[in-house]
């Protein structure tokens, strides 16, 4: 009996061990299958590309947008970042910030100059040549990267351009020559670092050379010409490119595109940097403060004017402001105010209009491209509108000064009434404008006769007799 029980227990033990081994084998098979499936899914997962779209002037706002977009692509482990760009150029400091971020990032940066008819001028040429992969759409251009001075002492001539003005012209020419040489070497360094045509890139700075997309491809300034972003990804896939981290081969077929929009805040700040917007904001600010000072207590015009002026000053820090133009505009406001106080028969108003127009033209330096100056189509309507505003305010103010008082003893001068008692030099009572008044008269006036007020002072009026 004991042997039978022992054999029975031994058999059960073997059955349990077999079940455990079988369970472990099934678990191991499931883990291997899951690993294979995950590996297959990871292998088949499409690449991800960050996409930034920018069109306009290179300035601190656009630089912040591009730098943050590249940083976001790094954090999201994107395979590459594509920056679609169409720019006439911009500020050197902002361009340098973008280039430094591009050459120090861990992911390939693809600059795509588009759409058709666009271009990468001036600062945009530096950014394009600094990219890991440079692509342009057909019918676009690149070049004209000669730096322009933003010094307040002059108008910022191109190197070699003569100036008839005396003073700091020679010094400015020397500084411009130094700046041109520096950025020529800077451009050559970027081109050589990307195995691009360094001689042509340097001539874009020294001679303002501009080339089309097709010529840029033929002369080894860019890598590809693509009609749209999808064609770009197809052309890039399978090709090996030299980057700052070494050679890289991208596979962007069916890649997922992660959009990185500029956002409301950046779009708003970027709009403020438009010279036409900055000019209009300054005009609105001056009009608001003028209205508040001429009508104390209105509050709303003063608040709006102060906000507009602060926004205008924010814009001025990114634009080549000529402070002689600012002073002329302020002088025009002073002349309009003096027109109220001084009898000039309109000469001060004419001087204000001329000063306002000249200041508007001189507000931004004339040698700069159109995107850094106020357009004449903005200046003329604004000058006319501001002039009409000030003239209207002056007319209303003068009209208010000349208006006869409507209350008190001065308010009833020329009013007519009836003598309620005999009136002479010693006084009497009259009923005028629904009120009883103490009155005197140089000539005796009988009770009941009609009178007219000719003077009033300290609640005593002087009257004269009038006929019916």
Q: What is the mean pLDDT of residues 163-183?
A: 68
Q: Are residues 423 and 398 in the same domain?
A: no
Residue 86, SS3 per DSSP = strand
Q: Are residues 280 and 159 in the same domain?
A: no
Per cent of the chain over pLDDT 90 is 29
User: Of the candidates 42, 87, 119, 53, which has an alpha carbon nearest to the alpha carbon of residue 257?
Assistant: 53
Per cent of the chain over pLDDT 70 is 79
Q: Are residues 90 and 41 in the same domain?
A: no
- 420 classed as catalytic: no
Residue 34: per-residue pLDDT: 60
Domain range spanning residue 2?
1-45
User: Of the candidates 394, 391, 360, which has an alpha carbon nearest to the alpha carbon of residue 377?
Assistant: 360
Q: Are residues 237 and 283 in the same domain?
A: no
DSSP 34-61: HHHHHHHHHHHPPPEEEEEEEES-BSHH
Residue 12, SS3 per DSSP = helix
pLDDT digits (tens, 9 = 90+) for 452-466: 888 777 778 888 888
Residue 199: per-residue pLDDT: 94
Q: How far is CA 396 from CA 295, 335, 382, 401, in A?
A: 11, 17, 21, 9
Q: What is the mean pLDDT of residues 377-398?
A: 80
**Number of compact structural domains in the chain:** 4
Partners of 437 in the β-ladder: 430
Q: pLDDT class for 295, splitting at 50, 70, 90?
A: confident
Q: Are residues 177 and 75 in the same domain?
A: yes
Residue 111: in which H helix or E strand, if any?
Answer: strand 109-113
Write down the pTM of the prediction. Answer: 0.70
Q: Which of the listed residues 240, 265, 290 is the one where a domain comes to its end?
A: 265
Q: How far is CA 149 from CA 152, 357, 368, in A?
A: 9, 25, 9
Mean pLDDT for all residues in the chain: 81
First-residue to last-residue Cα distance in the chain: 155
Q: Are residues 2 and 73 in the same domain?
A: no
Residue 82: in which H helix or E strand, if any?
Answer: strand 80-86
Judging by beta carbons within 10 Å of its beta carbon (0-12, 13-18, 19+), is residue 142 exposed, middle or buried?
Answer: buried
User: Would the pLDDT of 401 be above 80?
Assistant: no
Residue 187: per-residue pLDDT: 94
Q: Are residues 211 and 281 in the same domain?
A: no
Q: Are residues 112 and 212 in the same domain?
A: yes
Distance CA 66, CA 78 (A): 15
Residue 225: per-residue pLDDT: 95
Q: pLDDT class for 371, splitting at 50, 70, 90?
A: low
User: Would the pLDDT of 204 be above 90?
Assistant: yes
Return the number of other C-beta atoms located less than 10 Å from residue 14's C-beta: 9
Per annotation, catalytic residue among 178, 185, 245, 366: 178
pLDDT digits (tens, 9 = 90+) for 106-159: 889 999 999 999 999 999 999 999 999 999 999 999 998 888 754 443 333 333
Q: Are residues 431 and 342 in the same domain?
A: no
Q: Are residues 213 and 314 in the same domain?
A: no
Judging by beta carbons within 10 Å of its beta carbon (0-12, 13-18, 19+), is residue 43 exposed, middle or buried?
Answer: exposed
Residue 151: per-residue pLDDT: 44
User: Would the pLDDT of 445 be above 50?
Assistant: yes
Distance CA 305, CA 332 (A): 17
- Among 219-223, 243-247, 365-369, the minimum mean pLDDT is found in 365-369
CATH of the domain at 419: 2.40.50.140
User: Would the pLDDT of 70 be above 70?
Assistant: yes
Per annotation, catalytic residue among 122, 203, 360, 441: 122
Q: pLDDT class for 6, splitting at 50, 70, 90?
A: low
CATH of the domain at 255: 3.90.226.10
Q: Which of the listed residues 381, 402, 423 is the one where a domain comes to its end?
A: 402
Q: Are residues 413 and 387 in the same domain?
A: no
Q: Which of the listed residues 214, 248, 265 is the one where a domain comes to its end?
A: 265
Q: What is the mean pLDDT of residues 155-165?
A: 38
pLDDT digits (tens, 9 = 90+) for 82-111: 999 999 988 888 999 999 999 998 889 999
Q: pLDDT class for 346, splitting at 50, 70, 90?
A: confident
Residue 368, SS3 per DSSP = coil
pLDDT digits (tens, 9 = 90+) for 38-62: 544 444 557 899 999 999 889 899 9
CA angle 22, 28, 33 (to 5 degrees): 125
Q: Are residues 210 and 325 in the same domain?
A: no
User: Would the pLDDT of 198 be above 80?
Assistant: yes
- 178 classed as catalytic: yes
Distance CA 190, CA 58 (A): 18
Q: State how beta strands 460-465 and 428-432 pair.
A: unpaired
């Amino acid at each position: 009996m004991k042997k039978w029980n022992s054999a029975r227990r031994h058999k059960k033990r073997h059955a349990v061990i077999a079940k455990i081994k079988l369970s472990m084998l099934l678990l191991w098979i499931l883990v291997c299958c899951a690993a294979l499936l995950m590996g297959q899914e990871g292998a088949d997962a499409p690449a991800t590309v960050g996409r930034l779209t920018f069109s306009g002037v290179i300035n601190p706002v656009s630089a912040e947008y591009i730098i943050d977009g590249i940083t976001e692509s790094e954090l999201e482990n994107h395979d590459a970042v594509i920056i679609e760009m169409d720019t006439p150029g911009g500020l050197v400091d902002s361009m340098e910030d973008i280039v430094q971020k591009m050459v120090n990032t861990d992911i390939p940066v693809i600059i795509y100059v588009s759409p058709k008819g666009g271009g990468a001028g001036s600062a945009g040429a530096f950014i394009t040549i600094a990219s890991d992969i440079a692509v342009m759409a057909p019918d676009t251009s690149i070049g004209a990267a000669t730096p322009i001075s933003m010094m307040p002492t002059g108008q910022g001539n191109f190197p070699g351009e003569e100036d008839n003005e005396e003073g700091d012209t020679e010094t400015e020419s020397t500084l411009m020559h130094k700046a041109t040489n520096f950025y020529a070497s800077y451009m050559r360094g970027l081109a050589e670092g990307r195995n691009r045509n360094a001689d042509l890139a340097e001539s874009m700075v020294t001679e303002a050379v501009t080339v089309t997309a097709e010529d840029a491809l033929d002369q080894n300034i860019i890598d590809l010409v693509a009609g749209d972003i999808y064609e770009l990804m197809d052309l890039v896939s399978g090709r090996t490119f030299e980057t700052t981290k070494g050679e890289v081969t991208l596979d962007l077929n069916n890649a997922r595109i992660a959009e990185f929009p500029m956002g409301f805040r950046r779009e708003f700040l970027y709009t403020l940097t438009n010279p036409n917007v900055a000019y209009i904001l300054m005009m609105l600010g001056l009009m608001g403060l003028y209205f508040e000072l001429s009508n104390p207590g209105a509050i709303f015009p003063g608040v709006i004017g102060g906000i507009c002026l602060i926004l205008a000053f924010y814009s001025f820090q990114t634009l080549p402001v000529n402070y002689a133009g600012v002073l002329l505009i302020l002088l025009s406001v002073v002349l309009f105010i003096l027109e109220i106080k001084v009898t000039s028969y309109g000469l001060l108003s004419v001087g204000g209009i001329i000063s306002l127009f000249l200041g508007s033209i001189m507000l931004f330096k004339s040698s700069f491209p159109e995107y850094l100056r106020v357009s004449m189509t903005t200046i003329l309507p604004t000058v006319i509108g501001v002039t009409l505003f000030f003239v209207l305010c002056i007319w209303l103010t003068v009209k208010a000064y000349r208006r006869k008082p409507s209350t008190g003893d001065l308010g009833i001068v020329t009013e007519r009434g009836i003598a309620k008692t005999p009136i002479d030099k010693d006084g009497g009572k009259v009923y005028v404008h629904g009120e009883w008044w103490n009155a005197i008269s140089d000539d005796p006036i009988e009770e009941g006769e009609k009178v007219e007020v000719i003077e009033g002072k300290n609640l005593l009026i002087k009257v004269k007799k009038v006929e019916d």
